[in-house]
Amino acid sequence: MSKVDIRDLRDWLNDVEKLGEVTRVTKEVDPHLEMGALTYLNGKNSEQTTLLFEKPKGHKGDVKVLFNPIGNSMNRLSLAMRTPPGKSPIELVQFIKEKFDEKIKPVSVDPKDAPIFENVWMGDDIDMTYFPTPTHWARDGGPYIGTADVIITQDPDSGRVNLGTYRQMIEGKDRVGYYASPGKDTLLDREKWWAKGKPCPVVSVYGVDPLLFICAATGFPKQESEYDAAGGIQGSPIETVPGKITGLPIPARAELVIEGYSYPDGGQEEGPFGEFTGYYGRPGQEQTPSIDIKAVYFRNQPIMTAALMADHPSCEQNLFLAVMRGARVWRDLEACGIPGVQGVWSVPSAAGGFGMTVVSLKQMYAGHAQQAAAIAAQCAGGAYFAKFIYVVDEDVDPSDLEQVIWAASTRCRVSEDIDILRNTWSTYLDPSKNPNEERPYGSKALIYACKEFKNIKNFSRRTALTTEQYEQAVNRWEELGMPGKAPTLKVFDNLEEEFRA
Ligand SMILES: Cc1cc2nc3c(=O)[nH]c(=O)nc-3n(C[C@H](O)[C@H](O)[C@H](O)COP(=O)(O)O)c2cc1C
């Protein structure tokens, strides 16, 4: 595959199906807890596919539910990012980081050419119970229609359109709640409208191209629109159409969209919800703003998208955030003028890819590693929730946790090489901060799992093969009946350098 030509969820699903990574579940499955259970167990299998539930139990309409579109598949993630599969994790991070420079604004298409308007409900026709909305976990406060979703809002002052992913619980036939953590753009937009004494116009997309979902779930600079970033990654503008109620730009090829307003005094109790941390978020039911739905749009035979939040590896956001956050932090480090970055990775198993960032750095000057760690910890792309920021040297692949642990165990002087930042940006969802009133403040450990710069020239030499040794072994691999394939190595020790024992 040399070129990826995908414009919407259906195109992406076709390509993924050709790779054998879709399981179509044609028998009846209950959206209430059963889909979530199957997705959780499927995530624990290494050969996992995305799950397309074709017959949701108790629902008459022809509506399918697609769970965990990306999961732990580099293939599915690559296709969502409009690039052929085959790149290593850090190559994909670098590819995305470079795409961040190629912003392309969305284009508005004629509403007649927008598949999303194939079905339009307004007024009394609106009934969200028609859609098979999953309840994921037994203690969830209700069915959550918004998980693999995109919420669209606008800054009333600058006009910047924001895309964000937020959990949304069905509260009635024409009402959903949406929970946003402090500091998130959706919340800041909402409060600006309210401060002007106006309701906040909102669009929410519940069947969505994974590219838009992934961009919405990634922290971009506040003044930038995720639409432009997604267009840049796609290499062509995202097609939109103005909403009939709010005029907000709606993805023209989406599957299911609602449009409405959020009012400052319109909140309801929402939650709890099984979260990316692997714990229920917000232990009790709490007041959360809602959206009063004024219009519903959907394509014929729509496909809803759903993301299970869970411990690793069943949590939908883990792999794609590892790549997206890695790319964002790398870009932010570059923007701050930090040289020598070889790669950045947000470890997928660290609570939805949020908990741990690893920066691989070619150290060039005193304090370089400490500077990189402090910026990676606090930059816009990496600050939220992150608890552990590791800096490793350039011979360590940051996406290989085993190598990172080896580096920490052999290069980090624990008493000297760990700094702590306090009262940093976190979330009410962090279960480690108790009592609840202590949230949402967090703290971060900066761990220099790299050679001490002062002694870098005298640091013990690591054992590594010479290039000649390696090539000889690879050439004889089959002849000698060695099992599997010879692994690829990136680190060699060629003896022309002075030997230091
Ligand atoms: C499946 C999923 C659900 C999410 N739910 C929430 C949520 O309920 N509240 C929240 O504050 N962030 C949630 N996030 C994280 C935000 O989408 C993410 O921080 C994003 O960058 C916010 O974008 P914005 O600040 O541009 O609005 C979720 C992410 C994913 C992948």
Cβ of 236: how many Cβ atoms within 10 Å? 12
CA–CA distance from 125 to each of 114, 133, 298, 335, 432 (Å)? 21, 18, 13, 50, 45
For the chain, how many residues are written?
Answer: 501
Distance CA 320, CA 499 (A): 42
**Residue 41 in contact with residue 121, Cβ under 8 Å?**
no
So what's the pLDDT on residue 501?
Answer: 37
Written as tens digits, the pLDDT of the chain (501 aa) is: 667 999 999 999 999 999 999 999 999 999 999 999 999 999 999 778 999 999 999 998 999 999 999 999 999 999 999 999 999 999 999 999 999 999 999 999 999 999 999 999 999 999 999 999 999 999 999 999 999 999 999 999 999 999 999 999 999 999 999 999 888 999 999 999 999 999 999 999 999 999 999 999 998 989 999 999 999 999 999 999 999 999 999 999 999 999 999 999 878 888 899 999 999 986 555 789 999 999 999 999 999 999 999 999 999 999 999 999 999 999 999 999 999 999 999 999 999 999 999 999 999 999 999 999 999 999 999 999 999 999 999 999 999 999 999 999 999 999 999 999 999 999 989 999 998 888 899 999 999 999 999 999 999 999 999 999 999 999 999 999 999 999 999 999 997 655 443
Does residue 170's CB lie within 6 angstroms of at least one atom of ligand 1? no
End-to-end CA distance of the chain: 48
Buried b (16+ CB within 10 A) or exposed e, 336-358: eebebbbbbbbbbbbbbbbbbbb
So what's the pLDDT on residue 499?
Answer: 44
Find, among 203, 343, 180, 197, the residue nearest to 259 by Cα: 203
So what's the pLDDT on residue 47?
Answer: 79
Q: How far is the CA of 319 from the centre of ligand 1 (A)?
A: 15
Distance CA 100, CA 98 (A): 5
Tokens 């967090």 belong to 442
Q: How far is the CA of 218 from the centre of ligand 1 (A)?
A: 8
Distance CA 275, CA 393 (A): 33
User: Could you tell me where the beta strands, DSSP code E, fall in 141-217?
Assistant: 144-146, 150-154, 161-164, 168-172, 175-177, 200-207
Distance CA 413, CA 450 (A): 9
So what's the pLDDT on residue 86?
Answer: 96
Distance CA 93, CA 87 (A): 9
Distance CA 394, CA 24 (A): 43
**How far is C-alpha 60 from the geometric centre of its chain's CA atoms?**
32
Q: DSSP of 370-413, one letter per residue?
A: HHHHHHHHHSTTT-SS--EEEEEETTS-TT-HHHHHHHHHHH--
pLDDT in tens, 228-252: 999 999 999 999 999 999 999 999 9
Distance CA 297, CA 259 (A): 8
So what's the pLDDT on residue 103?
Answer: 96
Tokens 């949230």 belong to 439
Does residue 181's CB lie within 6 angstroms of at least one atom of ligand 1? yes
Strand partners, 163: 152
CATH level 3 topology of 317-458: UbiD C-terminal domain-like (3.40.1670)
**How far is C-alpha 220 from the geometric centre of its chain's CA atoms?**
12
Q: Is the dihedral of CA 252, 254, 260, 265 positive or negative?
A: negative
Does residue 168's CB lie within 6 angstroms of at least one atom of ligand 1? no
Q: Which residues contact 489 (CB under 8 A, 6 or more apart)?
A: 464, 465, 470
Does residue 154's CB lie within 6 angstroms of at least one atom of ligand 1? no
Quote the pTM value: 0.96
Strand partners, 39: none
**Residue 175 in contact with residue 290, Cβ under 8 Å?**
yes
Does residue 307's CB lie within 6 angstroms of at least one atom of ligand 1? yes
Q: How far is the CA of 456 from the centre of ligand 1 (A)?
A: 41
Does residue 83's CB lie within 6 angstroms of at least one atom of ligand 1? no
So what's the pLDDT on residue 283?
Answer: 55
Does residue 217's CB lie within 6 angstroms of at least one atom of ligand 1? yes
Distance CA 275, CA 181 (A): 13
Q: How far is the CA of 138 from the centre of ligand 1 (A)?
A: 22
Distance CA 208, CA 256 (A): 8
Q: Where along the chain do its domains lie?
A: 9-306, 317-458, 461-501
Strands 22-29 and 50-56, sheet pairing: parallel
Strand partners, 361: 341, 393
Q: How far is the CA of 257 from the centre of ligand 1 (A)?
A: 18
Strand partners, 239: 107
So what's the pLDDT on residue 500?
Answer: 43
Residue whose Cα lies nearest atom 18 of ligand 1: it is 217
So what's the pLDDT on residue 295?
Answer: 98
So what's the pLDDT on residue 389?
Answer: 98
9-306: CATH superfamily: Electron Transport, Fmn-binding Protein; Chain A (2.30.110.10)
**Residue 42 in contact with residue 241, Cβ under 8 Å?**
no
So what's the pLDDT on residue 284?
Answer: 58
Burial category of 316 from C-beta neighbours within 10 Å (exposed 0-12, middle 13-18, buried 19 and up): buried
